[in-house]
Structures are given as C-alpha cells and as structure tokens.
Structure 1
C-alpha cells in the first residue's frame, strides 16, 4: 500500500510499538490487530482477514504527519507477516512517541490499561523533545491526561524534562472508566490500581 500503490497510510498504535521492539512486552502475536492511520484503500475491507485491520483517521494530531518516520525492516528479523523476499525495505510508521499516544487513544474500548501499562514499563527510550512536541500537537485531553498518569507511575528518566505548562490538559474531571477512581493530579477516572500509591493505600 505504501510503496507500490502510493496510499496515504501509516502503521501506528500498538502495531508501531511492536516495530520499535516492544513486541515481547505487548504479547504481539500473528493474529493481533493491525492499526493503520490515514486513507487506506477500500479493498482492504474485502480481504479474507479484513477484521484484523483497524483503520483510523489522523484526527488525534489534527491530520498532521508529525512524528511519523520511515523505519528500515529486515527480512531476517521481521515478524513472519512482515517478511519479504529481498533483504531490507522501509515501513512508514509512527515514532515511539506518537505510537504510545495512539495506543492511549484506544483506551478503554479497544485496548486495555494493562497493555498500556506494559508499554510504558519499557518506554525508557523516549526522546523528551520529541515527546514534548507530540504532546503539544495532540488534540485529545483524555490521551494527554492518561499519558501523565502512566508517565508518573513509571517515572522514567525522561519524565522530568517534559514541560507541563506548555501542554493543554483541559479543565474539569473526565469520566473514562465505569466504576473507576479519579486520579488526584489529572482528574480522569482510571482503575483503582493505577492511582498513586498513597491514594491506593488510603483507599484500602
């Protein structure tokens, strides 16, 4: 679709995270969903395994292609579904920083808090300046608040370099999870186990 047919589509979300090496953390198997962003061809829905392909617009970033890169894929190391006959090829895919925000956009209906938590556990390689730019460009208050819920929970070295005063987190509470608890800092409802430790202990 990308190279031979010229369709305006990129791989994103959990699928992109897998291409960046998080495959083991996310239990990515051959039957997993494939997340595609942009304008895929209509015939995609007619493929025998069409239900594997989750198509999304780029509205999360206002249609902008910020944070989308060309990644070299080797047929020697690629997933079986990505393997090709020649040695290397490139895939247009969300950067690590964009992909994790695309993943959060799927919560709670299409992805789980557990998957997001596992992804954040392994996000030591995030580039602070790139992440800052992605957060400033992101249009979803839900996604940005969830990002900081998980970022604070795992507290990687890059967290302290993010300038929160430049990121619009909106105002007022956001109900996201039925029966969840409101995070004291980011005012979005999450499962109780994702509250700060002090809040969990006080509620026990």
Structure 2
C-alpha cells in the first residue's frame, strides 16, 4: 500500500527458513519496521502480535532489504511484494532487541544456522549500524560460532566504541568486546575468528 515498511528481525529470519524452534502456544510476534507505519496496523484482528520498530538502527535505512515475491499459493493480493530484511540485516535487528525482547539462547540458536551470510553485505551493514551494542554483540556471536564468513571480517575495521557496556545483570564482561553478556558467551578459550 506504498508504506515504507518492512518485515525484519526474527520474523524475517523465520520466513527465510532460519527459525530454530517450532512455536508452541501463542504465535510469534511479527516485527515490522518503518518510520511511518499506519496506525490501523496494530488494530487489525490478527493471530500474532505486531511489534513496531523504527528504522533508526542504520544510518542508511534502505541497506539490507529485499523485495520478496511469494509463490503462487502464498501470493499477496494485487501482486504486492513483501519488503523484508535479508538475513544479514535481520540478525542485527534481532540483536537490537536483546535482552528485553529476545533471549540470548534464541539468538544463539538462530546464529548457529547463519552459515551463508555474505561478508561484503555484513561489512556495509556494520559500518552503517549506529548502535555500538549491536556491533559488539554481532562479533560476540560471530566469534562464538566461527562460521567461514567470520574470517573475512576484521572487527578492528568497525567503530566498536570504547569503554565497557553493561547489558545483562549477573553476566560477565566479554574479554575482547567489553560488553556484559551471560557467562557462557564470554568465549574464553574460543577462537576469535581472526
């Protein structure tokens, strides 16, 4: 309907086949990103809650988006296309929700399946990302899983800020990225991907 919105975060990852768990009970929230989201969207009688976010995470809000055309059986009316975050952007949007709206365990399981991310796309998104928390968390997870694409990203090429960041209570400061995360994510003894 010509609104500049897109599906992102864990919703986009799920729709692209990266979901790790089947949801039991209630439906997973649908993460919708945009700066001018119609007010009626949240009032629709849907079976899943709509979570609305703005696009301020990246300095260029159009990076990492793709138009998805559905198959014939899932076709949207009037040949609409669904704007969706590519996996590289979606995982960063999901990390922005830690720890209040997403869990470390859930993102850890999602990140484990992200073996085919594209380093060039990641690099552009990391340079455009405005939140130090997200960039540091990205490298915490990337080092933890050590996918082949990790070796093509140099963490020192990105502005990771300075000083320690407290993200969770009762956690530990990650020795390299200086952000407080649950103890099992500190990566002591793990490869740092370089």
The equivalent residue for 1:163 is 154
TM-score, normalization: structure 1?
0.85
The equivalent residue for 2:133 is 142
Consecutive unaligned residues in structure 1, runs of 5 or more:
77-82, 200-204
TM-score, normalization: structure 2?
0.89
Q: Stretches of 4+ moved more than 4 A in 1?
A: none
The equivalent residue for 2:44 is 47
The CA RMSD measured in Å over matched residues stands at: 2.1
The equivalent residue for 1:67 is 64
Q: Which residues of 2 match residues 55-204 of structure 1 at below 5 A?
A: 55-62=52-59, 64-76=61-73, 83-84=74-75, 90-198=81-189
Instruction: Name which of structure 1's ranges 65-74 and 173-182 shifts more when overlaid on structure 2.
Output: 65-74
2:2 is the counterpart of 1:6: yes
Consecutive unaligned residues in structure 2, runs of 5 or more:
none
User: Hey, what's the Cα distance between the residues in 2 that align with 1:20 and 1:172?
Assistant: 36
Q: How many residues align?
A: 187
User: Hey, what's the Cα distance between the residues in 1 that align with 2:62 and 2:186?
Assistant: 33
The structure with more helix, counted as a fraction of residues: 1
The equivalent residue for 2:28 is 32
Post-superposition offset of 1:45: 2.2
Q: 1:16 aligns with which of 7, 12, 16?
A: 12
Q: Is the 8 A contact 2:28 2:48 kept in 1?
A: no
